[in-house]
Amino acid sequence: MTERLDQFIKNQALSVRSFEMSIGASDGMIRRAIKNHTDIQSKWLSVIADNYPNLSIDWLLTGRGSMLKSDTVLIDEQEMKEKEVLPAKKNLIPFYEDVSTIGGLNDRVANTDPSSPTEWIDAGDWFPEATAAIRHYGDSMVEYPSGSILALKHVNNPQLIMNGRNYVVETSEYRVTKQLQNKGDHFMAYSTNRETYPDGNLIHAPFSVPKEEIRHIYLVLGCVTKEYSNGAIQIRK
């Protein structure tokens, strides 16, 4: 069964980790099952079926029939022609309500990472590369309203940081959203809010982030303003 599940994940152009996050599984659970050819708990079958309605569970369990189900819908009632239509694949981004980023360093915080997302944001064809979504607070980044949700992509190699782009930087002391400039052994972190004090000094002054202190870096893909929980969302890219 795990071999067939691996086939389905590849068919959907997903990484195993992305698939795990889409069903709310812990990091490595599905990967270990595929690697060791061990069965997964039956409770996950219903979760997988709910999130991937185009997957044939009978095929997954037994190998019989086709991998994907097809729904026939009536396209033209006059001519009574039927056409196969596959359900649209969901783009579910795990949203962690209890993890946040701040714009400045007035309130340095380091939230404890949660074990599972609070809910999932279906972003349709927006942010296909997003790996997580968290809240942003503060006014130092003018493009992101305080309380909005940032769609993020985890950066595995800090050497690939692009100067001038917005990133969420996490150390053991704080998690902030800033524009980054690579300066060798450290990054300079800049705010887009250029307001100054009466003496001309920036309210949100740039600061240095030593690379050795960084635990995670995420590229900010865009901003989501959620008016109501489980309701409509406004997306800014």
Show me where the domains of the chain are located.
2-85, 92-236
181/174 Cα distance (integer angstroms)? 18
Q: Is the pLDDT of residue 233 over 90?
A: no
Residue-level pLDDT at 104: 59
Superfamily of domain 92-236, CATH level 4 = Umud Fragment, subunit A (2.10.109.10)
Q: What percentage of residues in the chain have a pLDDT greater than 90? A: 25
Residues in the chain: 237
What pLDDT was estimated at residue 226? 57
Residue 229's pLDDT is 46
Q: Taking the domain 2-85, which CATH number applies?
A: 1.10.260
pLDDT at 234: 45
Backbone angles phi, psi at 43, to 5 degrees: -65, -25
Q: For 190-203, give one letter per residue: b (16+ CB within 10 A) or e.
A: bbebeeeeeeeeee
Percentage, residues of the chain above pLDDT 70: 80
Most confident range, picked from 35-49, 71-85, 166-180: 166-180
Mean pLDDT of the region 6-33: 87
d(CA 8, CA 137): 39
Q: Which segment of 75-79, 123-127, 157-161, 227-231 scores lowest on mean pLDDT? A: 75-79
Looking only at the bridges linking them, the beta strands covering 149-154 and 214-226 are antiparallel
The whole-chain average pLDDT of the chain stands at 79
Distance, in Å, from the CA atom of 104 to the CA atom of 96, rounded to the nearest integer, reads 20
- Read off the pTM: 0.57
Do 93 and 151 contact (CB within 8 A), yes or no? yes
Interstrand relation of 214-226 and 233-236 (parallel, antiparallel or unpaired): antiparallel
Identify the pLDDT of residue 220. 94
| pLDDT score at 80 | 43
CB half-sphere exposure, 7, CA atoms < 13 A: 13
Q: Residue 169 pairs with which residues in a beta bridge?
A: 176, 217
In the chain, what is the greatest distance between 2 CA atoms, to the nearest angstrom? 76
Whether the CB-CB separation of 185 and 173 falls below 8 Å is answered with no
